[in-house]
Structure 1
């Protein structure tokens, strides 16, 4: 989450891809860093053991959400980041 917010601070819209076991941590970090509205994109767990074809399927499952976050939420996330201490 820290790296994502560092890019966002530089004006680079970024999406955090996160598997279910780490979603709670991502939400907590977003809150702690003053960006409670930041939306991570949930990806089915696990990822590390996937074969290339399986990884492509996972990517296909979330690409629409990634685009939505990058295009539809970029302004809201930027506004939230500007409010950070």
Structure 2
């Protein structure tokens, strides 16, 4: 989250990506960083026990949302 905030403050588009378990934490942290409008995309949770194929499927499913967020505005 800090890296995305830093990129955005320097005018470089970024998107925070995490699993759905971290929605509430991401909202709280982005507000505390003073950047509540930070672009974010969430994937299914958990991810730590997913196979490589499952992780590729998660990435493929999130790709369009990530591109849309990074090119918005």
Mapped pair 1:9 → 2:9: yes
- Per-residue CA distance 1:13-49 (angstroms, 9 max, x = gap): 1111111111111111111111112231011011122
| Structure 1 residue ranges (4+ consecutive) displaced by more than 3 angstroms after TM superposition | none
CA RMSD of the aligned region, Å? Answer: 1.2
TM-score, scaled relative to structure 1? 0.77
The answer for the alignment partner of 1:83 in structure 2 is none
Residue 11 of structure 1 and its aligned partner are, at CA, apart by: 2.2
Residue 69 of structure 1 and its aligned partner are, at CA, apart by: 0.2
The answer for the alignment partner of 2:25 in structure 1 is 25
Larger Rg: 1
Give the total of aligned pairs: 73
* Mapped partners of 2:66, 2:41: distance in 1: 7
The answer for the alignment partner of 1:61 in structure 2 is 61
Gaps of 5+ in 1: 76-85
TM-score, scaled relative to structure 2? 0.88
